[in-house]
């Protein structure tokens, strides 16, 4: 373990992150909401901490190894969640405990979107903006941003990038240089954010709401500056804009990059993961819309359809926006929705969950076993599109799946041990581990009623979900620390 390098990069990243507390100050002064002070304090503390960490080792010039990469990423996300909480903790109107502030900040950064705040509509503008911004930064990955703007990370950038990027195959680069790849991803991300903001504005939101919702839509976060989430606007047009952009943000950003570079949509059409993702959303939406229509009848069929599709896309991509309280929907729909969040979006997107590609590979493996029963001596590779998948990748998918289930069960038991009923505990774990946001039972509209212990379990769950478990899990294995 190369402590000096880890420390140096961590310090640098913290200093960089401190800059993100400046825009809320601008908003505060512009809207005159008298809450700029917490952000100045947060900025000062974060910057100072960064300098204190960085200064003793700023001359260290060693290369980052793979192992160091895991530590930097895990430590950075954990530390960031903590420092990101500073302005929320200091804000007068909120009077949050440390637990609540960290929960809110971590929920933002990991694009979960679960909240412990109530009465959002009365909070200062700058605080509302800050929550949305946290989601936006966490969406594409704050490490990816760092790799893009800090060229000195060099080869080490790849180690960091791999430890943060979601999906089973992490070696694909869009461009030869990792810095350029990171930049490309952020440009695409930025372009979608702007497009989303303009669309929201045209659909009827004010500029501020449009910006805030664009941040949390493209990041697949789910925070909203309103208690009623997107339902606040009660507009079919806005719902449709949200559906489109949630769908787009759940696609692998590499595909967007190629589409933009080669000005063609053939990459989408050829990508098996995209096809599976689109098919899954269509089927899920159909099932939910049909059940809803069956229950509610055909009065206001248009509204029911939009509402059903919206909720299906929002939950399945792990965004977590709501227009209605879906926990009250009839029969199996709420549970079906929660289960769809286990699938999540595509690898390389901003979505959470297990990712479509892993499910696809697991399904194909199942299909292979069936085929083997029929043709015992056949040689049947697992194929994605036209190319065979390396056995190593398939193994990794099974490993991930197994660990996911184990982590889920452990967290579920721990949650229930804090006194939650089974439905609440189950949906709370699903909502955090999949970076979804809303759950069922007591956590339908937020996590404020939970005990501190349950909140900390949720914080760990969100972090595990965002870093896809292994990056964090590897740190608690003895092998990692053994020299």
Partner 1 sequence: MKILILGAGQVGSSAAYHLSREEANEVTVVDTNADVLRELQDRLDIRTVVGHAAHPEVLERAGAGDADIVVALTDTDETNMIACQVAYTNFRTPTKIARIRAAEYMNANNLFTQDAIPIDVRISPEQLVCTHIEQLILYPGSSQVLDFADGRVRLVGAKADRGGLLVGQRIATLKDHIPNTEGRIAAIYRDGVAMLPNGDTVIQEGDEVFFIADRKDIRVFMSEMRRLEDPVRRVVIAGGGNIGVRLALALENTNQVKIIERDPRRARQISERLNKAIVLVGDAADEELLLEENIDNVDIFCALTNSEEANILSSMLAKRLGAHKVMALINRPSYVDLVESGSIDIAISPQQITIGSLLAHVRRGDVVKVHSLRRGAAEAMEAIAHGDKDSSLVVGRAIEDIELPAGTAILAIVRGDRVIIAHHDTVIETDDHVILFMTDRRKIENLESLFQVGVSFV
Where do contacts with partner 1 occur on this chain (CB under 8 A)?
66, 151, 154-155, 157-158, 171, 173, 175-180, 390
Nearer to partner 1 among residue 209 and residue 271 (C-beta): 271
Closest contact distance (angstroms) between CB of 262 and partner 1 is: 10
Closest contact distance (angstroms) between CB of 161 and partner 1 is: 11
Secondary structure of residue 319 in the 3-state scheme: coil
Q: What does the DSSP assignment read for 412-474?
A: HHHHHHTT--HHHHHHHHHHHHTT----SGGGSS-STTS-HHHHHHHHHHHHHHHTTTHHHHG
| CB neighbour list of residue 124: distance below 8 Å, 6 or more residues apart | 28, 33, 34, 35, 91, 93
Secondary structure of residue 47 in the 3-state scheme: helix
* Spatial distance between the Cα atoms of 44 and 387, rounded to a whole number of angstroms: 52
* Spatial distance between the Cα atoms of 17 and 48, rounded to a whole number of angstroms: 12
Nearer to partner 1 among residue 198 and residue 393 (C-beta): 393
Q: How many Cα atoms within 13 Å fall on the side-chain side of residue 432?
A: 30
Tell me the CA distances in angstroms from 274 to 137, 241, 452, one per residue in order: 24, 20, 39
Q: Which residue, among 79, 60, 104, 111, has the nearest Cα to 10 in the 3D structure?
A: 79
Nearer to partner 1 among residue 1 and residue 155 (C-beta): 155
Nearer to partner 1 among residue 55 and residue 66 (C-beta): 66
The residue behind tokens 């599976």 is: 276
Closest contact distance (angstroms) between CB of 360 and partner 1 is: 21
Nearer to partner 1 among residue 34 and residue 392 (C-beta): 392
Secondary structure of residue 2 in the 3-state scheme: coil
Closest contact distance (angstroms) between CB of 220 and partner 1 is: 27
Nearer to partner 1 among residue 175 and residue 325 (C-beta): 175
Closest contact distance (angstroms) between CB of 359 and partner 1 is: 24
Q: How many Cα atoms within 13 Å fall on the side-chain side of residue 89?
A: 19
* Spatial distance between the Cα atoms of 263 and 288, rounded to a whole number of angstroms: 35
Nearer to partner 1 among residue 59 and residue 375 (C-beta): 59
Nearer to partner 1 among residue 154 and residue 272 (C-beta): 154
| DSSP 8-state assignment for residue 206 | -
Exposed/middle/buried for residue 235 (C-beta within 10 Å: 0-12, 13-18, 19+)? middle
| Termini Cα distance of the chain | 7
Polymer length of the chain: 483
Nearer to partner 1 among residue 36 and residue 161 (C-beta): 161
247, 349 in Cβ contact below 8 A?
A: no
84, 21 in Cβ contact below 8 A?
A: no
Nearer to partner 1 among residue 177 and residue 364 (C-beta): 177
Closest contact distance (angstroms) between CB of 346 and partner 1 is: 20
Closest contact distance (angstroms) between CB of 177 and partner 1 is: 6
Closest contact distance (angstroms) between CB of 71 and partner 1 is: 17
Closest contact distance (angstroms) between CB of 8 and partner 1 is: 19
Closest contact distance (angstroms) between CB of 155 and partner 1 is: 5
What is the chain's percent helix, strand, coil content, to nearest 5? 70, 0, 30
């Amino acid at each position: 373990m190369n402590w000096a390098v880890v420390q140096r990069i961590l310090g640098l990243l913290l200093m960089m992150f401190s800059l993100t507390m400046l825009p809320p100050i601008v908003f505060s002064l512009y809207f005159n909401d008298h809450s700029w002070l917490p952000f100045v304090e947060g900025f000062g503390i974060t910057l100072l901490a960064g300098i204190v960490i960085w200064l003793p080792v700023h001359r260290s010039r060693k290369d980052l190894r793979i192992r160091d990469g895991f530590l930097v990423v895990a430590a950075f996300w954990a530390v960031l969640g903590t420092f990101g909480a500073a302005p929320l903790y200091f804000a007068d109107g909120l009077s949050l405990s440390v637990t609540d502030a960290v929960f809110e900040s971590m929920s933002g950064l990991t694009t979960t979107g679960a909240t412990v705040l109530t009465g959002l509509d009365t909070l200062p503008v700058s605080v509302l903006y800050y929550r949305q911004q946290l989601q936006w930064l966490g969406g594409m990955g704050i490490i990816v941003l760092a790799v893009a703007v800090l060229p000195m990370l060099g080869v080490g950038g790849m180690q960091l990038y791999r430890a943060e990027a979601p999906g089973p195959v992490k070696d694909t680069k869009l461009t030869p240089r990792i810095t350029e790849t990171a930049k490309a991803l952020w440009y695409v991300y930025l372009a979608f954010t702007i497009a989303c903001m303009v669309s929201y504005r045209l659909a009827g939101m004010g500029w501020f709401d449009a910006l805030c919702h664009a941040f949390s839509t493209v990041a697949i976060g789910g925070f909203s500056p309103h208690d009623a989430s997107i339902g606040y606007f009660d507009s079919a047009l806005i719902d449709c804009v949200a559906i489109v952009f949630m769908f787009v943000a759940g696609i692998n950003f590499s595909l967007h990059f190629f589409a933009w570079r080669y000005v063609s949509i053939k990459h989408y059409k050829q990508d098996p993961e995209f096809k599976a993702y689109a098919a899954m959303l269509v089927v899920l939406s159909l099932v939910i819309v049909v059940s809803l229509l069956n229950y509610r009848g055909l009065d206001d069929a248009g509204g029911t359809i939009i509402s059903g599709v919206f909720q299906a896309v929002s939950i399945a991509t792990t965004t977590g926006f709501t227009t209605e309280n879906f926990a009250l929907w009839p029969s199996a729909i709420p549970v079906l929705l929660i289960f769809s969040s286990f699938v999540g979006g595509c690898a390389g997107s901003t979505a959470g969950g297990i990712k479509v590609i892993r499910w696809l590979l697991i399904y194909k493996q199942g299909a292979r076993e069936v085929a083997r029963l029929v043709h015992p001596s056949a040689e049947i590779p697992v194929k994605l599109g036209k190319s065979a998948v390396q056995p190593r990748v398939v193994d990794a998918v099974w490993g991930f799946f197994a660990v996911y289930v184990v982590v889920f069960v452990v967290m579920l038991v721990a949650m229930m041990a804090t006194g939650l009923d089974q439905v609440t505990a189950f949906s709370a774990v699903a909502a955090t581990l999949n970076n979804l946001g809303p759950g069922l039972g007591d956590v339908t509209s937020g996590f404020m009623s939970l005990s501190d212990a349950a909140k900390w379990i949720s914080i760990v769950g969100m972090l595990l979900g965002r870093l896809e478990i292994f990056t964090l899990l590897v740190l608690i294995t003895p092998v990692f620390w053994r020299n």
